[in-house]
């Protein structure tokens, strides 16, 4: 199959092939991270927010200036890059959940995560229904609101250098958020399917959610158990980059093939490697060395995926969802801190606001909800994509504020 050349300006001597265009765009995206670093140092704005804004600028140029609304940056290459970045983040977050850390903050982590997602989902669902939005839209967005972007939270926490209890808790919460999100979303889709399409639709949605969770646990164990024994054997006390990349690519590819949560599978693998690898102490060192370029692609491409032509279709819903999710996260964090009792003094009351970033998982849930309820698909997708850009820009700012 031959590649179709990209139309180039008349003054260029040769046509631009798709492979050349993709390579140039990859170079431009990585170069934007250098620009973001320079601006972040001078303005104290999080570089993640700046990278998402670069992506939005790409969308503006592509859709409004070049008038190519249906084209995707990097065509089919963008999705694998985003997937690999998310799997890397989930693997590293799983490594944060060591036995010693869970023994010290496990109960507190559970209290905070449940209070934030519980109060947050209720605030979004009840608030949207009170404002007159359809039941399907309100329940779907309430379930989608549970998801948090682990990449934005982890990168901001690590960039701050903070190792206090609040920072460790944030890393722990985003490590298990994907599991909570899948459970809540699966149950919500099952209940909606049961009520609107009959028992068969609800049972099917419940089975799909069960496989996405259970299959991820099985895959994470199947990869993590041998990896915990094998990594670090080739080079004493340190895994090689080849081993690290092999783990990440296997998890990303097998998860997509089997239709299970790649984030949850990678997190389980990270937990197993961190707790069972007794023959070396730097299991995640090589992943950290190569993680940032993939995160740059993730944040820029997330911003570039916004559909500017349909943002105004759900402007009211998008604004309501953003405000209600922020309110729910704040109130959920406040309740969690109050329930913490003896550790209250170490935790900020606004800790829930540090869990507002939202990206790939939320978009995936929105796509599934749109397929299941096509009558509301356009408005759901527009609201989630529009709010995702806001949360990715605003979220890291709130994380830094909570850590301060």
Span 373-384, pLDDT tens digits: 777 777 787 788
In a domain, 359, yes or no: yes
pLDDT at 11: 53
In a domain, 53, yes or no: no
pLDDT at 323: 92
CA gap 351, 403 in Å, rounded = 8
| Start-to-end Cα distance in the chain | 55
Domain that residue 378 falls in: 77-403
In a domain, 57, yes or no: no
In a domain, 329, yes or no: yes
CATH of the domain at 204: 1.20.1530.20
Can you give the three-state secondary structure of the chain, one letter per residue?
CCCCCECCCCCCCCCECHHHHHHHHHHHHHHHHHHHHHHHHHHCCCHHHHHHHHHHHHHHHHHHHCCCCCCCCCHHHHHHHHHHHHHHHHHHHHHHCCHHHHHHHHHHHHHHHHHHHHHHHHHHHHHHHHCCCCHHHHHHHHHHCCCCCHHHHHHHHHHHCCCCHHHHHHHHHHHHHHHHHHHHHHHHHHHHHHHHHCHHHHHHHHHHHHHHHHHHHHHHHHHHHHHHHHCCCCCCCCCCHHHHHHHHHHHHHHHHHHCCCHHHHHHHHHHHHHHHCCCCCCCCHHHHHHHHHHHHHHHHHHHHCCCHHHHHHHHHHHHHHHHHHHHHHHHHHHHHHHHHHHHHHHCCCCHHHHHCCCCHHHHHHHHHHHHHCHHHHHHHHHHHHHHHHHHHHHHHHHHHHHHC
Span 177-217, pLDDT tens digits: 766 776 777 677 767 766 665 555 556 666 776 787 788 88
In a domain, 32, yes or no: no
pLDDT at 2: 41
Instruction: Count Cβ atoms within 10 A of the Cβ of residue 100 and give its class: 0-12 exposed, 13-18 middle, 19 or more buried.
Output: exposed
Span 336-392, pLDDT tens digits: 888 876 666 667 788 888 888 876 667 767 766 776 777 777 778 778 877 877 887
Overall domain count for the chain: 1
In a domain, 31, yes or no: no
Instruction: Count Cβ atoms within 10 A of the Cβ of residue 161 and give its class: 0-12 exposed, 13-18 middle, 19 or more buried.
Output: exposed
In a domain, 318, yes or no: yes
In a domain, 290, yes or no: yes
Q: Which parts of the chain have pLDDT scores under 70?
A: 1-16, 18, 44-46, 66-76, 96, 101-105, 175, 178-179, 182, 186, 190, 193-206, 209, 231-240, 278-286, 288, 305-307, 310-313, 341-346, 359-361, 364, 367-368, 371
pLDDT at 71: 55
Instruction: Count Cβ atoms within 10 A of the Cβ of residue 230 and give its class: 0-12 exposed, 13-18 middle, 19 or more buried.
Output: middle
pLDDT at 286: 67
pLDDT at 165: 76
């Amino acid at each position: 199959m031959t590649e179709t050349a990209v139309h180039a300006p008349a003054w260029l001597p040769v046509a631009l092939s798709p492979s050349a265009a993709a390579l140039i765009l990859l170079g431009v995206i990585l170069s934007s991270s250098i620009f973001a670093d320079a601006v972040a140092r001078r303005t104290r704005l999080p570089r993640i927010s700046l990278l998402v804004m670069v992506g939005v600028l790409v969308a503006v140029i592509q859709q409004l200036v070049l008038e190519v609304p249906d084209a995707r940056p990097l065509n089919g290459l963008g999705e694998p890059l985003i997937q690999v970045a998310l799997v890397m983040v989930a693997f590293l977050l799983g490594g944060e959940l060591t036995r010693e850390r869970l023994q010290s903050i496990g109960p507190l982590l559970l209290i905070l995560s449940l209070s934030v997602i519980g109060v947050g989902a209720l605030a979004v669902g009840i608030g949207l229904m009170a404002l007159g939005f359809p039941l399907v839209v309100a329940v779907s967005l309430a379930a989608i609101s549970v998801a948090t972007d682990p990449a934005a939270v982890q990168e901001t926490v690590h960039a701050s250098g903070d190792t206090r209890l609040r920072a460790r808790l944030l890393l722990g919460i985003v490590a298990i958020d994907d599991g909570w999100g899948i459970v809540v979303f699966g149950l919500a889709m099952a209940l909606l399917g049961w009520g609107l399409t009959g028992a068969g639709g609800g049972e099917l949605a419940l089975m799909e959610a069960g496989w996405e969770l259970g299959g991820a646990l099985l895959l994470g164990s199947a990869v993590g158990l041998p990896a915990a024994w094998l990594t670090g054997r080739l080079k004493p006390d340190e895994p090689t980059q080849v081993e690290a990349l092999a783990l990440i690519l296997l998890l990303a590819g097998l998860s997509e093939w089997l239709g299970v949560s790649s984030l949850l599978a990678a997190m389980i693998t990270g937990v197993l490697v961190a707790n069972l690898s007794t023959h070396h102490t730097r299991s995640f060192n090589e992943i950290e060395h190569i993680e940032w370029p993939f995160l740059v692609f993730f944040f820029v491409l997330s911003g570039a995926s916004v559909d500017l032509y349909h943002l105004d279709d759900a402007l009211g819903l998008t604004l309501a969802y953003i405000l209600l999710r922020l309110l729910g996260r704040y109130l959920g964090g406040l309740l969690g801190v109050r329930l913490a009792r003896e550790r209250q003094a170490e935790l900020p009351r606004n800790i829930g606001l540090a869990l507002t970033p939202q990206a790939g998982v939320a978009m995936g849930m929105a796509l599934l909800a749109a397929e299941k309820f096509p009558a509301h698909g356009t408005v759901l997708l527009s609201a989630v994509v529009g709010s995702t850009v806001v949360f990715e820009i605003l979220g890291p700012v709130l994380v830094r504020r909570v850590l301060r």
